[in-house]
C-alpha cells in the first residue's frame, strides 16, 4: 500500500475486547487487520452508492495528480478546474500558490489532499 492515511477511533472496552478475542483466536492477524477487513466490507456494501455519487459529480475515483505544466496548460486555455476526487489528490510541489489560485475554481476531496502548505492556504476558501 503506497498511500496510507492513519485514522484514530474511539471504541468501548467491550468492543475492543471482542476484537482482541478474534485476533487471539486467529480470525485476524492483528487489530489493524480486523479494521481493514471491516472497512472493506462496509465499502463493498455501499459500492453502488459510491459509484452513483461519482457519476453524479463527475468525480475521479482513485488518485489524480496535477503538476505545473497541467495548470499552465489550463491557464493558457482560460480554463478553471472544478476538482472532485474520491481517493487522493496530489498538487505537485512545483505549483505556485498564484498558479493554483488562477486555475483551480474548487476542490472537494473525499480522502486526502497532498499539496504544499502554501498552496493549501491559497486554496483554503475553495475547498469544501
* DSSP one-letter string for 31-81: HHHHHHHHHHHHHHHTHHHHHHHHHHHT-EEEEEEE-HHHHHHHHHTT--E
* Mean pLDDT of all residues in 93-108: 95
pTM higher than 0.75 for the full model? no
Q: Are strands 104-114 and 60-66 parallel, antiparallel or unpaired?
A: unpaired
Grid cell digits, residue 9: 477511533
pLDDT of residue 58 exceeding 60, the answer is no
Mean pLDDT calculated for residue range 67-89:
92
pLDDT digits (tens, 9 = 90+) for 16-45: 999 999 999 999 999 999 999 999 999 999
Per-residue model confidence (pLDDT) at position 56: 47
**HSE (CB half, 13 Å, CA atoms) of 54?**
13
Tally of residues, the chain: 128
* CA–CA gap between residue 29 and residue 31 (Å, rounded): 7
Angle at which helices 31-45 and 47-57 cross, to 10°: 60
User: Residue 1 pLDDT more than 80?
Assistant: no
pLDDT value for 78: 85
Report whether 65 contacts 92 (CB < 8 A).
Answer: yes
pLDDT score of 126 more than 60:
yes
Amino acid at each position: 500500500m503506497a498511500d496510507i492515511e492513519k485514522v484514530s477511533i474511539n471504541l468501548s472496552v467491550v468492543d475492543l475486547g471482542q476484537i482482541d478475542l478474534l485476533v487471539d483466536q486467529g480470525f485476524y492477524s492483528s487489530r489493524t487487520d480486523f479494521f481493514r477487513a471491516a472497512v472493506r466490507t462496509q465499502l463493498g456494501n455501499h459500492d453502488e452508492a459510491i459509484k452513483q455519487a461519482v457519476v453524479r459529480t463527475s468525480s475521479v475515483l482513485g488518485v489524480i495528480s496535477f503538476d505545473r505544466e497541467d495548470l499552465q496548460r489550463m491557464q493558457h486555455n482560460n480554463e478553471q478546474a472544478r476538482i472532485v476526487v474520491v481517493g487522493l489528490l496530489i498538487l505537485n510541489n512545483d505549483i505556485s500558490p498564484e498558479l493554483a489560485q488562477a486555475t483551480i475554481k474548487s476542490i472537494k476531496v473525499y480522502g486526502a489532499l497532498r499539496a504544499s502548505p502554501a498552496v493549501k492556504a491559497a486554496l483554503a476558501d475553495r475547498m469544501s
